Structure 1
């Protein structure tokens, strides 16, 4: 592989080359936007899923799995939802050679698959809360340019669906999801902003939507997840109601929380560099790669020592790979830097004779330590690597934002702009036209900038009811 394009000024070109060179996916499958998970990419995906499962189950959510095919009669029950997804749906109209009486939708998301069953599961207040999740593939006929992990037609998808007793309980579940994602993102060393989307950009059928956004490239953003509060917008058409303790009947309030393989793309986008992918240790397919360097006959055997170290490290649950190929050491170093292994251990004749280990992390920091302490020293270096990775990512994250005080400042912006907005759609549309992008919405937390005194709306100069909002060009 030659020199990679510049990540900041040619982000998409850099990203596509890195994904392919690191062998995370194979896009040569003959259906556009449906890519093959390679062994290395699949390992990373499995590690990512483990993080999501750990944190969502810590909140009391339980795993389910619903069918992929949805009857059109159920899909059509929530009018705003079908309007939002109809153009992206794959339809199944035949079973063998026979036309189906009821066409089937290949799930784009699972509200319309799950909620007819929820109406059977939820009958009493004792059935609430219902908090369930699944990790499945969803399908959307994406008409924009497809890109591995970021925009695909077959999506590896995590989705939690819940039913709550009332609006306050649903709001509390949204807060619980935000807390769970904060822990997921911390494991990925991934800074982000939760942003409440404007009315015209919320999920079809939602009361409100909170997106989870990160900066990528110059002035661009990537939505890596979303959390939605539905109120009764789905429970009414699907008949999800319960009997309260006083005998009265109520419709459930619902929420959803969605993430996808786009998170893996986000890790590549945020942490990757001029050498390739950089994996945080939580989802690295191989947390430690050991490279034995052949020695002359009759001397200590680096290969045997490498296998012994690997065995010790694996006993503690660490993911270890010994590169025993016949490639030259320099080629191995290059290969595992490209693939983002957090920590490389090198065992040559000197290390084998002295009982030491030479270590280099993916950020290029070198050290040596005694073999007898290998477990403790490896864990220490991985933890230090993750801290440094988060610090680097946070520094770049903060540098990606800047205030703008006029519409003219938005044109050609290479940063995500923080603007004062009155909240009205006409002004929002003016901001979007000026930046040639979108009003992402209002952050659900502190801005990554020094605080400023409130000012007038950037579009209409009103000082009434304004808030800080984000504007960018979504990827």
Structure 2
């Protein structure tokens, strides 16, 4: 390790998750005990973010905003209401969402019908028509972070399947032609890669099947990750919409050729599922583990005092002040009514990456003791190099979180061309890639035979099946791998 004087005094400890009957039981307990999220609000599928959860959200939102701002997107804020007249214009879109919308039913006598937005394509496009005039306005890129509402009929789960998605980042872009719009799709995929990489979340990138693409899209690219119970969760989608919405809403621009042309549009979104997956993938029996760069508290400082202070508290505050001046988010837990051991478990539950302890021996030796939340390794460091030691440990923790998560995901992606084996692998909590001809009927038959959901075809691998037949239609040659999973 590069930091001088950082000495390992306890090796890594195991981090099992074995006490819980189910992943959902563990997840629900952690988010409520860690003061992240309260699911006791008396409306099905609607939940409350507590202050610590909001602090996590704000850090994640700052990452999302930074990457969109840097790539030329501008932030907007649209009303929550969409006129039904707009929503119903695009036929595929309304077929895909009409059963999920919430209607505004009071105070509207004699007025047009309104819905609460389930997504904003039909709200954005009428404004694009007003804002976009000629080719010099393109490409046009906006985004917002807002609530969207879905009348979810499946079983709801806190943060994972909700009726009010309260941290929905949706971007909407308009382009002169398909080439530039698909360039934007590739850029959006790159932005999402960076977001998930920085949050240490591993992912699979797939092109959704025709029957599972976004309603109104030409095609959809999706990011999925794997939960500890072996189910996948969609954490991001990117849609090429072509001219499907621009023709319906008459969004045209004056081209260099002096003629009017319809714009090509894209949209892409992520939600608080990114936080749910961050908590789920890295947590353990003791609680959460948050990536250091996005943890509300990066270091918790705990004075070890039994009886007399012996200058310990002032020493801790001096060290913490130095860390704070270096930009580290540090909190001193100087409560006298709680034991040090109680505090350890409390801050481990909340996922603080590093614990800094100071006892009489540290004051005497002019050192601090540092413990990593990811491995529970314990170090001593000289007082004079505490900032460098903490920065190095945060880097090591993040690298280890990312490496461990990716290794776990990759170990749970299998291939098979035998239906019984596919079902066994799915039951063991894996994503399974099977040979597929590309035919929709065969694909749906594969899902039926394996009792699985289709994630689509891999976009993070160019490898094709070699001399294999479609899993369900043996008379057809396989042209691609079809990813299967059980999913939320």
* Alignment TM-score, normalising by the size of structure 1: 0.95
User: How far apart, in 2, do the equivalents of 1:26 and 1:136 lie?
Assistant: 19
Match of 1:321 among 326, 331, 343: 331
The SS at the match of 1:102 is coil
User: How far apart, in 1, do the equivalents of 2:245 and 2:390 lie?
Assistant: 50
User: Which residue does the alignment assign to 2:279?
Assistant: 268
Match of 2:483 among 457, 467, 470: 470
Q: What do the CA deviations read for 1:138-161 (whole angstroms, capped 9, x no partner)?
A: 111111111111111111200110
User: Which residue does the alignment assign to 2:431?
Assistant: 416
1:295–1:348: 8 Å Cα contact kept in structure 2?
no
User: Which residue does the alignment assign to 1:83?
Assistant: 95
CA displacement at 1:444 relative to structure 2:
0.8
Question: How do 1:40-119 residues align onto structure 2 when only pairs under 5 Å count?
Answer: 40-95=52-107, 99-119=109-129
CA displacement at 1:390 relative to structure 2:
1.0
Match of 1:277 among 279, 284, 288: 288
User: How far apart, in 1, do the equivalents of 2:55 and 2:28 lie?
Assistant: 19
Alignment size in residue pairs: 468
2:146–2:169: 8 Å Cα contact kept in structure 1?
yes
1:81–1:204: 8 Å Cα contact kept in structure 2?
yes
CA displacement at 1:13 relative to structure 2:
2.0
| 2:147 paired with 1:158 | no
User: How far apart, in 1, do the equivalents of 2:318 and 2:475 lie?
Assistant: 70
* Alignment TM-score, normalising by the size of structure 2: 0.92
| 2:468 paired with 1:455 | yes
CA displacement at 1:459 relative to structure 2:
1.5
CA displacement at 1:224 relative to structure 2:
0.6
Question: How do 1:174-253 residues align onto structure 2 when only pairs under 5 Å count?
Answer: 174-253=185-264
1:405–1:24 distance in 2 versus 1, CA, 3 Å: same
User: Which residue does the alignment assign to 1:388?
Assistant: 400
CA displacement at 1:435 relative to structure 2:
2.5
| 2:51 paired with 1:39 | yes
1:7–1:15: 8 Å Cα contact kept in structure 2?
no
User: Which residue does the alignment assign to 1:332?
Assistant: 343
The SS at the match of 1:94 is coil
1:445–1:9 distance in 2 versus 1, CA, 3 Å: farther
1:6–1:14: 8 Å Cα contact kept in structure 2?
no
User: How far apart, in 1, do the equivalents of 2:119 and 2:378 lie?
Assistant: 46
CA displacement at 1:455 relative to structure 2:
2.0
User: Which residue does the alignment assign to 1:426?
Assistant: 441
CA displacement at 1:323 relative to structure 2:
1.3
| 2:148 paired with 1:135 | no
The SS at the match of 2:111 is strand
CA displacement at 1:287 relative to structure 2:
1.2
Match of 1:445 among 441, 460, 468: 460
1:134–1:158: 8 Å Cα contact kept in structure 2?
yes
The SS at the match of 1:345 is strand
User: How far apart, in 2, do the equivalents of 1:204 and 1:452 lie?
Assistant: 29
User: Which residue does the alignment assign to 1:358?
Assistant: 369
User: How far apart, in 2, do the equivalents of 1:108 and 1:50 lie?
Assistant: 23
Match of 1:148 among 126, 150, 158: 158
User: How far apart, in 2, do the equivalents of 1:57 and 1:455 lie?
Assistant: 45
Structure 1 unaligned blocks of 5 or more: none
User: How far apart, in 2, do the equivalents of 1:298 and 1:208 lie?
Assistant: 65
Larger RCO of the pair (alpha carbons < 8 Å, separation 6+): 2
User: Which residue does the alignment assign to 2:7?
Assistant: none
User: How far apart, in 1, do the equivalents of 2:274 and 2:187 lie?
Assistant: 19
Moved more, 4-13 or 54-63: 4-13
The SS at the match of 2:387 is helix
1:297–1:274 distance in 2 versus 1, CA, 3 Å: closer
Moved more, 6-15 or 267-276: 6-15
The SS at the match of 1:276 is coil
User: How far apart, in 2, do the equivalents of 1:239 and 1:293 lie?
Assistant: 68
Q: CA RMSD for the aligned pairs?
A: 1.9
User: Which residue does the alignment assign to 1:309?
Assistant: 319
Q: What do the CA deviations read for 1:344-375 (whole angstroms, capped 9, x no partner)?
A: 11111111222211001112111111111121
Structure 2 unaligned blocks of 5 or more: 1-14
1:343–1:100 distance in 2 versus 1, CA, 3 Å: farther
| 2:418 paired with 1:403 | no
2:287–2:349: 8 Å Cα contact kept in structure 1?
yes
2:371–2:378: 8 Å Cα contact kept in structure 1?
yes
User: How far apart, in 2, do the equivalents of 1:401 and 1:8 lie?
Assistant: 24
